[in-house]
């Protein structure tokens, strides 16, 4: 029924990370998939050093080799890697990973500005390959992980305009919180609970840039919809061709409320069966050319 556009798994159980996320093993992810009727998921390696223990792309490829019917791989490279230069040629690595089955890039989340020369150099090369890329975004440099933008996401817009062949999957609180106009700038990067009284920048960017897609995973994607179901119905219907179901399941027993939310909208007739199918699985199949 569902394809998960955003999943994580470590082949071996992670050691305790002093309060940080205890990521799932592939078997734990598949147990939850079977509970919710998720057919397969896209595994995103976590390579950045800011928050989590870095993970190799080869580990993701090995998980997908063990469970080829349930997982598909993305690759990931830190733009500071290889030579920490805005002139680094990443194509030998990107080409190798694509040759070995990686269907996109992400979760790309170095704690750098969207317009940092290192990031723009990397994006330029992904754009030349016409690959999709999943990012996470935050509101500050020097704390935690994620690309950094300002209120209104002007640097993301610069990248959408500059790299039209790279389908960018928006993800994370600092992206989805701007579904509506925020009451204060302090609500950026959080989970606003108030209804959407005025449309924010996210739907406007969707209208303006065909290369912007939506990764609805995690608490941020769910909150962007559930905080105002009436607005969610309009948003899902208008952008039905570029929204993808996801979980971002991190811990083995983590909450996954998006599936029941979408199923309820379908059951009550607020979104059609056709819209539901696109968001649940068909958009991911088309984006990633699954089955070809």
pLDDT digits (tens, 9 = 90+) for 173-183: 999 999 999 99
Q: In the prediction, which pLDDT does 20 show?
A: 62
CA–CA–CA angle 23, 25, 26 (5° rounding):
125
* Residue 201 in tokens: 């920048």
What does the CA dihedral 248, 254, 259, 261 come to, rounded to 10 degrees?
-110
Q: What is the pLDDT of residues 48-98, one digit of tens each?
A: 888 777 899 999 999 999 999 999 999 999 999 999 999 999 999 999 999
Band (pLDDT 50/70/90 cuts) for residue 36 is: very high
Cβ contact 283:242 at 8 Å: yes
For the segment 158-179, the average pLDDT, to the nearest whole number, is 98
> 19 pLDDT exceeds 60?
no
> 15 pLDDT exceeds 70?
no
Q: In the prediction, which pLDDT does 21 show?
A: 65
Alpha-carbon distance of 174 to 90, in angstroms, equals 28
Q: In the prediction, which pLDDT does 195 show?
A: 96
Q: What is the pLDDT of residues 226-281, one digit of tens each?
A: 999 999 999 999 999 999 999 999 888 889 999 999 999 999 999 999 999 999 99
> 41 pLDDT exceeds 70?
yes
- Dihedral of alpha carbons 73, 279, 139, 89, sign: positive
Alpha-carbon distance of 65 to 119, in angstroms, equals 30
Query: Reduced to 3 DSSP states, what percent helix, strand and coil does the chain have, rounded to the nearest 5?
Result: 40, 15, 45
Q: In the prediction, which pLDDT does 48 show?
A: 85
Confidence (pTM): 0.96
């Amino acid at each position: 029924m569902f394809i998960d556009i955003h999943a994580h798994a470590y082949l071996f159980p992670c050691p305790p990370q002093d309060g940080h996320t205890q990521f799932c093993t592939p078997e734990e992810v598949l147990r939850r998939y079977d509970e919710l009727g998720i057919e397969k998921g896209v595994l995103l390696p976590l390579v950045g050093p800011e928050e989590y223990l870095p993970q190799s792309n080869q580990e993701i490829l090995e998980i997908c080799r063990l469970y080829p019917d349930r997982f598909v791989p993305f690759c990931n490279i830190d733009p500071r890697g290889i030579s920490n230069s805005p002139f680094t040629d990443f194509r030998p690595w990107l080409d190798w990973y694509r040759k070995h089955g990686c269907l996109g890039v992400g979760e790309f989340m170095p704690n750098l500005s969207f317009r940092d020369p290192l990031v723009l150099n990397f994006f330029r090369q992904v754009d030349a390959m016409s690959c999709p890329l999943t990012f996470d975004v935050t509101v500050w440099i020097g704390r935690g992980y994620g690309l950094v933008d300002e209120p209104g996401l002007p640097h993301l817009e610069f990248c959408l305009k500059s790299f039209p062949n790279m389908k960018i999957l928006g993800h994370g609180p600092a992206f989805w919180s701007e579904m509506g106009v925020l009451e204060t700038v302090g609500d950026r990067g959080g989970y606003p609970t108030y209804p959407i009284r005025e449309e924010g920048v996210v739907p406007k960017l969707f209208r303006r840039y065909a290369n912007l897609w939506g990764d609805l995973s995690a608490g941020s994607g769910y909150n962007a919809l559930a905080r105002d179901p009436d607005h969610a119905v309009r948003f899902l219907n208008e952008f039905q061709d570029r929204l993808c179901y996801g979980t971002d399941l991190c811990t083995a027993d983590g909450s996954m409320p998006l599936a029941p939310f979408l199923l309820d909208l379908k059951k009550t007739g607020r979104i059609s069966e056709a819209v539901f199918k696109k968001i649940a699985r068909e958009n991911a199949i088309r984006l990633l050319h699954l089955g070809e």
